[in-house]
Amino acid sequence: LNESKNPFDNVPDNVRMPAGFRFTGIKCGIKASGKPDLSLVVCDQPVSAAAVTTRNKVVAAPVILCRERTPSATIRGVVTVSGNANACTGERGAQDAAAMAQQVAEKIGCNPTDVLVMSTGVIGKFLPMPKVQAGIHQAFESLGSETTDFLAAAEAIRTTDAYRKVTFNEIELDGTTYRIAGMCKGAGMIAPNMATFLSVFLTDAPLEADAVAAMLKKVVKLSFNRCSVDGHTSTNDTCLLLASGLGRPGAKKLSSAATEKFTEAMTETAINLAKCLVADGEGAIHYMALEVIGAANDDEAELVAKTVAASPLVKSALSGNDPNWGRIVSAAGYCDATIEPAVMSLKICGIEIYRDGTPLEFDAKTVSNAMKAQVEVPIELRIGRGSGKATYWASDLTVDYVKFNSEYTT
Amino acid sequence: LNESKNPFDNVPDNVRMPAGFRFTGIKCGIKASGKPDLSLVVCDQPVSAAAVTTRNKVVAAPVILCRERTPSATIRGVVTVSGNANACTGERGAQDAAAMAQQVAEKIGCNPTDVLVMSTGVIGKFLPMPKVQAGIHQAFESLGSETTDFLAAAEAIRTTDAYRKVTFNEIELDGTTYRIAGMCKGAGMIAPNMATFLSVFLTDAPLEADAVAAMLKKVVKLSFNRCSVDGHTSTNDTCLLLASGLGRPGAKKLSSAATEKFTEAMTETAINLAKCLVADGEGAIHYMALEVIGAANDDEAELVAKTVAASPLVKSALSGNDPNWGRIVSAAGYCDATIEPAVMSLKICGIEIYRDGTPLEFDAKTVSNAMKAQVEVPIELRIGRGSGKATYWASDLTVDYVKFNSEYTT
């Protein structure tokens, strides 16, 4: 199972999938490469489901459909195509997304509004519907509930991703072990021939639809909304959480204390996928784990982190293993948070190089070598104003990113 | 005079400098390269002056000094060093900036607070004051009021700029021809071994200090604040406008109608320098002139333009001459302006490729060739909401930008 080059993709030998779901990934012919491009999740019974979607005002047809249909207590399936975003495709795009759900619903024998749809890939092209329809038909032939089936589903949502992105977790609550399985895709944030972020989490914990919605919002805020590859928000970003409750058939819904514990486990799980995203950022060599501490409050810490993480100068320095503190401190200075240089301090790879507004003597070569040795480069920026904190993960900016995104293809 | 490789650097043969100023640029030894690094402007009489400075909260010592000393009706000189930003240098940096002003004031025989100071270059290093002091002494020996003296002053404020950046303009008001001469520097926005934006405009028009301050604010908003290389706001950004009134000795201050005309001429002049900045952006091959029209209001148009201009995906596509409309439209979609895809349209190099939310058939090769042929690539984005408009100039993102900013130097 561990054939992936992803440093985070450790599929445990004995991992078990959440109860109540079947999955598959197949090739339907959207991608010229012939790689898998249709992913299907089917729920054995109606499940609680919620979605968090892009904040872009230019949204793809399937995003609108997911927004209209969640949160819901009666979701039965999710169908995803990769290689075509079905974005900027107007009325026809909306009809195509609805037709995909309709076909899946007929196969399952449920209401079309109980099926969710996602897509990712080229913007502004219509879906090749005959291929998609034949694909959906074929996908129902190969559904399974094994780990390999889940991995096949994760494989089929990839676009420019160098590897599939999956994560698994377990949590014991009230004497029952509930399972979480997550998949996502995303490398650059958007564009023709490229990316977008999509993610699906499945769990067999018993949660009501509203609880799933509230939880997913919290989880996304601390994981996927704390990642930066290129800062370009996609038209298609969608994250789904489906909870079957079948981890313990007949179990009551989780108590609020148990829900809180479950939210923590979900957050940890989502952070694993968030790290996969930035590690696999287009052209990325490595990424920073940027911890902002001592801000006036958590919101300001997040703003500082987001600004530093988005600076092309900071990201270029990271790719060259340059402990360039001036770029980090000055990026913090141009965001809207309360910043006072005289009380700021900075550590890179645990080595303090700037304290209370003054540069410290440090061996640049040692810090540079430490940066070079890590996939995840830890940077700690202390603001010196309060107790607000935020962690952010951001890929570096490399020559390969620019090459990849500037090559004009006719 | 026209030895520069700058496409905008046309120094007219018969250009005349504004009356009332002398200038020079010399080598004082801050730069290891041995290139000119000290620039001096001296005013024959006290002049009206104003400054617009960086919005970064981490500011260099000379920026604080300029803020404290302007607007003013009694400025007598501006001294600038390049190769060292005097930023993040604490109390000692403040003393060094003050000492530079003090020395210039002694030479002129004026109050130290009537001298302004700028610096640009490495962050976090103290100025080599003996070299700077010897340089100031030397500079006073070579002051002159000829075009070549002005060009020498412009040369000495460069850091990573590929060429000097100057512009000249004339405007006739109330029967008198007033002159404007401007210089600026800037390629990347900031960093050790690099950049920052600095600019000085000199004019012999008669303007009061408050009028200069109000005018400069308007001018900067429509020129330098509409440029984007990498979006990283510097610790040292400073733009100065000095008005001697000596274009017509004894002239009354300009009327408000004349001031308005003068502001237009100043804006045009500053836009010329703004274009130089993005044309010479680190690694830049060419730049976009992005015109956003039909936004709900001018502020929203500016926000859309700023967001599109900062997207690494849009900038990468530009460097590859890729008419990638999906990236432009979706970047507009993720800013906070009122955006409705169904009424948006887009032209690149005058060719409409997206209309009312629908992609048009177009010959990608023709548009790509048109992009390739231009230093300034015109992009027109129509929002379809009102009459708000804004123009923005942004360099492309190239492999060379990343190479330049990621190479680790010991």
pLDDT in tens, B229-241: 766 666 777 888 9
Please give the model's pTM, rounded to 2 decimal places: 0.77
* Contact residues on chain A for B321, CB-CB shorter than 8 A: 408
Mean pLDDT of A354-381: 91
The shortest CB-CB distance from A333 to any of B235, B357, B368 is to B235
Mean pLDDT of A169-193: 77
Partner A contacted by B281 (CB < 8 A): no
* Contact residues on chain B for A231, CB-CB shorter than 8 A: 310-312
For residue A53, the model assigns a pLDDT of 85
Mean pLDDT of B378-396: 93
Q: In B70-185, where does DSSP find H-type helix?
A: 90-108, 129-141, 147-155
Residue type, B92: R
Cβ–Cβ < 8 Å for A54, A92: no
Helix then strand count (H, E) for chain B reads 11, 15
Instruction: Give the Cα-Cα-Cα angle A396, A401, A403 (nearest 5 degrees).
Output: 150
Q: Could you report how far apart the first and last alpha carbons of chain A are, in Å? A: 38
For residue B79, the model assigns a pLDDT of 96
Residue A306's DSSP bridge partners are none
* Cβ–Cβ gap A190/B410 under 8 Å: no
Of the listed ranges A104-108, B88-92, B306-310, the least confidently predicted one is B88-92
- The answer to whether residue B193 scores a pLDDT higher than 50 is no
For residue A192, the model assigns a pLDDT of 36
Residue A1: pLDDT band with limits 50, 70, 90: very low
Mean pLDDT of B339-361: 90
Cβ–Cβ < 8 Å for B58, B68: no
Residue A190: pLDDT band with limits 50, 70, 90: very low
Mean pLDDT of B287-313: 92
Residue B30: pLDDT band with limits 50, 70, 90: very high
Mean pLDDT of A29-50: 95
Angle between helical axes of A298-310 and A325-333 (0-180°, round to 10) = 130
User: How high is the mean pLDDT of chain B?
Assistant: 88
Cβ–Cβ < 8 Å for B19, B148: no
The shortest CB-CB distance from A324 to any of B191, B396, B398 is to B191
| C-alpha–C-alpha distance, residues A395 and A187, integer Å | 10
* Cβ–Cβ gap A191/B87 under 8 Å: no
| C-alpha–C-alpha distance, residues B79 and A148, integer Å | 70
Q: What is the pLDDT of residues A253-274, one digit of tens each?
A: 888 899 999 999 989 888 888 8
User: How high is the mean pLDDT of chain A?
Assistant: 88
Choosing among B371, B406, B407, which should be mutated to test the A contact, i.e. which has the most A CBs within 10 A? B406
Burial of A167-200, coded b for 16+ CB within 10 Å and e otherwise, reads: bbbbbebeeeebbbbbbbbbbbbbbbbbbbbbbb
Establish whether the linkage from the previous residue to A46 is cis, with ω within 30° of 0: no
Q: Taking CA atoms, what residue in B is nearest to A229?
A: B312
Residue B410: pLDDT band with limits 50, 70, 90: very low
- The answer to whether residue B351 scores a pLDDT higher than 90 is yes
For residue A388, the model assigns a pLDDT of 96
Mean pLDDT of B11-19: 89
Partner A contacted by B350 (CB < 8 A): no
Choosing among A236, A303, A313, A365, which should be mutated to test the B contact, i.e. which has the most B CBs within 10 A? A313
Among the listed residues B24, B89, B196, B398, the single catalytic one is B196
Q: Tell me the ipTM for this assembly.
A: 0.71
Q: How far is A101 from chain B (nearest CA, A)?
A: 24
* Cβ–Cβ gap B230/A312 under 8 Å: yes
* Cβ–Cβ gap A359/B188 under 8 Å: no
* Cβ–Cβ gap A124/B325 under 8 Å: yes
Mean pLDDT of A140-164: 93
The shortest CB-CB distance from A58 to any of B314, B329, B408 is to B329
Cβ–Cβ < 8 Å for A87, A61: yes
Interface of A with B in 167-206 (CB under 8 A): 188-192
Residue B299: pLDDT band with limits 50, 70, 90: very high
For residue B9, the model assigns a pLDDT of 66
Structure tokens at A176: 């029952």
Q: Residue B387, class by beta-carbon neighbours within 10 Å (0-12 exposed, 13-18 middle, 19+ buried)?
A: exposed
Per DSSP bridges, beta strands B376-382 and B287-295 are parallel
* Cβ–Cβ gap A326/B190 under 8 Å: yes
Residue B195: pLDDT band with limits 50, 70, 90: very low
Residue A196 annotated in active site: yes
Per DSSP bridges, beta strands A351-355 and B345-348 are unpaired
Angle between helical axes of B61-69 and B90-108 (0-180°, round to 10) = 50
Partner B contacted by A384 (CB < 8 A): no
- The answer to whether residue B8 scores a pLDDT higher than 70 is no
